[in-house]
Amino acid sequence: MTISIDPTRLSGVKRSSTYLAMRSTQGGRTVYSLRVPLADLSVILPVPNPEEPDPDNRKVDRRHAKDFGDYLHRKIDWVAPALLARDNGGCKFDGIEGAPEGRLGYLEIPWSVGALSPLSTIDGQHRILGVDIEIKTLTEQINKINKDIERARSEDRLSQLRQQRDDLLQRLQRMDSEYVGLDIYLEPDNIRSRQMFVDVADNAKGISSALRSRFDGSKIANRTLDRVMDHALMKGRVDLEQDRMTTKNPNLMGAKHVADLTRAVAVGVAGRIGKKRETELDDAAVTEAVHKFLECITEAFTDLAAVADGKLAPLQLRQQSLLGSVGTLRVLAGTYHVFTQEMDLDDEEITEFFRRLNPHMNAPVTSASIWRTTQASADFEINASAPVMRTQNLQHLVDVVAGWYKNPPTGL
C-alpha cells in the first residue's frame, strides 16, 4: 500500500500574520498602511511594560493605558487615530499584480516574540497596553465565571452567570471584530528610528483644555458650554482656543474657564463630577443655575455690568479689578454654590451680599484691603490682581467669603 503525503499541507507553527496593506512614501521612507483587529495588536507589536520602559520611547502609565481599555468598553462609537510603528526590515511586502505602481499588497509581519519582533512602537503605547489589559481582564473574568458555573446549583444562579458570561464574550468578540489603523515606517537604522520618535513628539500639537471643553461632550460642564456662553456677560468674550488669559488677550476668559465656573456652581469650587454624578445632573437645570449666578454677579458688580454692556473691555477690567481674574470668578461661583445648596439663600439675597463686596474689588490688592486684613490674607498676596490659584486656596477663600454673610468683617 502506497502512502502519499502532501508536504504543502504541513505548515507547523507560523509565527506571523499577513494583512492587506497600502505602500507609500513619506520623508524618503517606505510606509505600510493597514487596518488591524484590536486583538492582534499585542501579537504583532511589543506590549509596553510600565516597570521596564523602552529606552527608545517614553515610560507608559498603566492607569492611563487602562483608561483607554475602559473607554473602549464605555463607548461603542469609540474613535482613535492610527498607531505608528517602525519596521527594522523584518516585514515582507508582496505586491498584488495589477495594483497601480505596486502600492497594494500583502504585508507579512512576524509576531512580537522576544527579540524576534521587527516592529517597535513610535506612537500608541498606551493604546496597545490598554487593549492588552482589557483582553486579559475579560479572559480572566470569563474563566472565573466558567468555574462558578460548574459549581452553581440553582437555575437562577446558572442563568445569571451565563448572562454575565455572554456579555463578557460579546465584549471580547469586539476585540476581534473592530479595527484600528496602523502605519509602519521602514527604517533599519536605529539612530534614525530614535529621531522619528522625537520628531513625532515635537510636532504633535496637544489638545488644549479650551478645545477639550468645546468638543468633549462626555462632561456636562462641556455639553452646556454653548448655552452658558450665550449669557450677555460672556457672549463674544470667550476664547475658544486658548487656556490662558494673558495681558493682551481681549477675552474675558477661555472655554475651559467657563467649564470651571459651571462645575463650581454645580458641585463647588473643589468639587468633582464623577460618572454617577454626571448621570444625575440635568443639562438644562445646570445651565439655568449658571445663568442665575451670572445674573447675580452682573447686577452686583458695576465693572461686570459695564463689561456686559460693552462699556468696559476685559483687558481694562483685568488691569483695575479682581473680577478680571478667573480665580476670583471661580470663588464667587463656589460661594454661590454654598449659598444656594447649603445656606438656602435666594438670588436676591445673594446679589445683595455680592453688592457689598463691590467696593473691595479694586486691583491690585493693598495691605489695607479686606483681602489682606482678614483670614483671606492666606489666599491673596500684596499687589496681586488674583487669588492664589491652588484648589485648596480657592476652597479656603470660598469658606471665608461665605462666612462673611453672617459674620462680616469691619468695612463690609
Per-residue pLDDT of the chain (412 residues), as tens digits, is 677 777 777 666 778 899 999 999 999 999 999 999 999 999 999 998 888 877 667 788 899 999 999 999 989 999 999 999 999 999 999 999 888 887 999 999 999 876 567 899 989 999 999 999 999 999 999 999 999 999 988 899 999 999 999 999 999 999 999 999 999 999 998 878 777 876 776 666 566 676 666 666 678 888 888 899 999 999 999 988 777 777 788 999 998 999 999 999 999 999 888 888 888 889 999 999 999 999 999 999 999 999 999 999 999 999 999 999 999 999 999 999 999 999 999 999 999 999 999 999 999 999 999 999 999 999 999 999 999 999 999 999 999 999 999 999 998 9
Q: Are residues 140 and 214 in the same domain?
A: no
Amino acid at 152: A
CA distances (Å), origin 35, targets 118, 125, 184: 18, 17, 11
The span from the CA of 67 to the CA of 215, in Å, is 19
| Domain end marker among 203, 222, 242 | 203
- Cβ(129)–Cβ(120) under 8 Å? no
The span from the CA of 42 to the CA of 326, in Å, is 45
- Cβ(184)–Cβ(117) under 8 Å? no
Q: Are residues 175 and 234 in the same domain?
A: no
Q: Are residues 55 and 115 in the same domain?
A: yes
pTM metric for this prediction? 0.59
Residue 216 belongs to a domain: yes
Task: Count up the domains in the chain and report the number.
Answer: 2
Q: Are residues 58 and 94 in the same domain?
A: yes
Residue 382 belongs to a domain: yes
Residue 9 belongs to a domain: no
Which range of residues forms the domain containing residue 354?
A: 209-403
Environment class of residue 26 by beta-carbon count within 10 Å: exposed (0-12), middle (13-18) or buried (19+)? Answer: exposed
Q: Are residues 253 and 190 in the same domain?
A: no
